[in-house]
Amino acid sequence: MYGRINSGKLFVSDMDGTVYLSETGIPGAIDFARRLKEREKRLLFFTNNASHTKDYYIEKLKRLGF
């Protein structure tokens, strides 16, 4: 797994159901995001849920520890 992390520069992840469920982080997701940051990799989050603003999702990710 770490070989793929080291060779990549940008990682893209869905949010709901992938890094969190409702108000609970998915086990391992925050640790994975932290490892990417330590290796100076970029992590881009996306969602197909347009019911909230970008700022809402930024705050939610922060609140959950991302």
Q: What residues are labeled active site?
A: 14, 16
Residues with Cβ within 8 Å of 53's Cβ and at least 6 positions away in sequence, in order, are: none
Under DSSP, the state recorded for 32 is H
- Which DSSP symbol is given to 58? H
- Tell me the three state secondary structure of residue 61: helix
What amino acid is encoded at 22 in this protein? S
